[in-house]
Amino acid sequence: MKKVFALVDCNNFYASCERLFRPELNNQPIVVLSNNDGCVIARSNEVKALGVKMGDPYFKLKDLLAKHHVHVFSSNYALYGDLSCRVMTILQQMEPEVEIYSIDEAFVSLPYTPGKLHTDYARSLKEKVRRCVGIPVAMGIGPTKTLAKVANRLAKKNAQYGGVFDITDSNQIDELLARCDVEDVWGIGRQSGRKLRMRGILTARDLRDADEVWIRKNLTVTGLRTVMELRGVSCLPLELAPPDKKSIVSSKSFGRPVSSLADMKEAVATYLSTAAEKLRSQGSAAGAIQVFISTNVFNVNQPQHTQSMMASLPQPSAYTPHLLKAAMHCLEGIFRSGYLYKKAGVMLTEIVSSGQQQINMFGPVSAEKPELMQAIDRINRKWGRQTVQIAAAGLAKPWKMVQAHTSPAYTTNWSELPIVNATS
């Protein structure tokens, strides 16, 4: 059966999450900041109208945001992740084939009906997400994933479409593609956009009609797939089971500089625990671990030190204590006193499936306790990350990132549940 693709995209997702439990913020300007309240990573439409760009440093915007009474929030990933899961669950209940593309986007496969727009069904799905979760979404529908992306962009930018646009059988497709800049086509980055513009390819329609030989030579087979997708030939099927990660990184900047080895060990142990949990969640084990630390490269008045070290494990493991031992060995080899470190992190590599490990017959007998790790992971999933953690990660964490404007974790922390007062 022929299918069409629908791209479901949550509108201003982080800002919508902040508004969900505070309806008085509807139609109010909102920005969400990155780790350590560094820069803007989400803006409501009202803030976009002020000219605030993604990635703008917060310290440069404080006066402007205060002048226009903009509500400022630190990133609350526990809340955003939980609400994203709820949106995706609704989509999976409605349709069997759903590809979760990002925290706020998903592709859905719909049956194709010739000569009939799919907007009525899309609006019913959109309404169910709003009713069950409270997050507004826009939907673009097309015969390929790339055209669904184009349709979604139109649905979001043109209020007359009501948040849903079907480009499948549109008789205005040439005009619609001509209004889409080539850099706005899914899969066309800045460098590819420059090449295309030098060639005179300025819009999505120009790209669709471009010479295939030139495209393959200059943008490889990936660029050619994009051209075919714009022509209505589906080359990118849904990925219903996302592939396992080949490497896992856990890294953050510190809220204040770290100068002692004890504090650095706590930070690395914390990041290692997070990476190990992600490793186990995909049923994998790591054969090597890398630890890296760095000072603030932007502070030119301070001594600089950036270094990393990798260690191979006797055999692949997802057992936190064994990974931690290797991580501490690396850290002790690269840490230097007298520096103010700004960032640290760990990367797990040489990842294999837990059920396909090559056992080292000459190595020591494994003392791993997978049942213990499973129990800890279940507790942390239910009660929140770091409810149970290894002692090496510490408790006070004076180096933890700054989050001066964090909203409550309304849906993932019992102590922060919203309080409803009822009067008779």
Question: Using alpha carbons only, what angle is made at residue 15 by residues 11 and 16, rounded to the nearest 5 degrees?
Answer: 55
* pLDDT at residue 359, as a whole number: 64
Task: Tell me if 91 sits within 8 A of 98, measured CB to CB.
Answer: yes
> What's the CATH number of domain 3-9+83-230, 3.40.50.720, 3.10.20.30, 3.30.70.270, 1.10.3720.10?
3.30.70.270
* pLDDT at residue 356, as a whole number: 67
Tokens for 282?
Answer: 């995909």
Q: SS3 of 285, please?
A: strand
Other beta carbons within 10 angstroms of residue 178's beta carbon come to: 14
* pLDDT at residue 297, as a whole number: 87
**Percentage, residues of the chain above pLDDT 90:** 71
What distance in Å separates the CA atoms of residue 121 and residue 124, rounded to the nearest whole number? Answer: 5
Whose CA is closest to 244, among 218, 208, 201, 281? 281
pLDDT higher than threshold 80 for residue 240: no
What distance in Å separates the CA atoms of residue 390 and residue 309, rounded to the nearest whole number? Answer: 22
Half-sphere exposure of residue 388, counting CA atoms within 13 Å on the CB side?
14
CATH 3.30.70.270 intervals, the chain: 3-9+83-230
CATH 3.30.1490.100 intervals, the chain: 248-393
Min mean pLDDT across 304-308, 309-313, 352-356 is at 352-356
Whose CA is closest to 41, among 387, 360, 287, 405? 405
Indicate the pLDDT class of residue 364, thresholds 50, 70 and 90.
Answer: low
pLDDT in tens, 159-215: 888 899 999 877 889 999 999 999 999 989 889 999 999 999 999 999 999 999 999
User: Which amino acid type is present at position 184?
Assistant: D
pLDDT higher than threshold 60 for residue 220: yes
Residues contacting residue 153 through CB under 8 Å, at least 6 positions apart: 140, 180, 184
Min mean pLDDT across 80-84, 133-137, 307-311, 399-403 is at 399-403
Tokens for 375?
Answer: 């129990």
How large is the average pLDDT for residues 313-337?
94
What distance in Å separates the CA atoms of residue 144 and residue 152, rounded to the nearest whole number? Answer: 12
Other beta carbons within 10 angstroms of residue 358's beta carbon come to: 9
Kindly provide the residue ranges of all beta strands, DSSP E only, lying in 103-195, ordered along the sequence.
Answer: 105-111, 137-142, 164-166
pLDDT higher than threshold 90 for residue 245: no
What distance in Å separates the CA atoms of residue 199 and residue 35, rounded to the nearest whole number? Answer: 40
* pLDDT at residue 271, as a whole number: 96
* pLDDT at residue 228, as a whole number: 96
Task: Tell me if 408 sits within 8 A of 416, measured CB to CB.
Answer: yes
pLDDT in tens, 10-68: 999 999 999 999 989 999 999 999 988 989 999 999 999 999 999 999 999 999 999 99
Tell me, what DSSP letter sits at residue 241? S
Q: What is the maximal distance between C-alpha atoms in the chain?
A: 74
User: Which amino acid type is present at position 270?
Assistant: T
DSSP alpha helix (H) spans, 245-300: 261-281
* pLDDT at residue 221, as a whole number: 93
Tell me, what DSSP letter sits at residue 30? E
Indicate the pLDDT class of residue 129, thresholds 50, 70 and 90.
Answer: very high
Task: Tell me if 319 sits within 8 A of 368, measured CB to CB.
Answer: yes
> What's the CATH number of domain 248-393, 3.30.1490.100, 3.40.50.970, 3.40.50.300, 3.90.1150.10?
3.30.1490.100
Indicate the pLDDT class of residue 365, thresholds 50, 70 and 90.
Answer: low
What distance in Å separates the CA atoms of residue 246 and residue 351, rounded to the nearest whole number? Answer: 6
Tokens for 366?
Answer: 């494994």
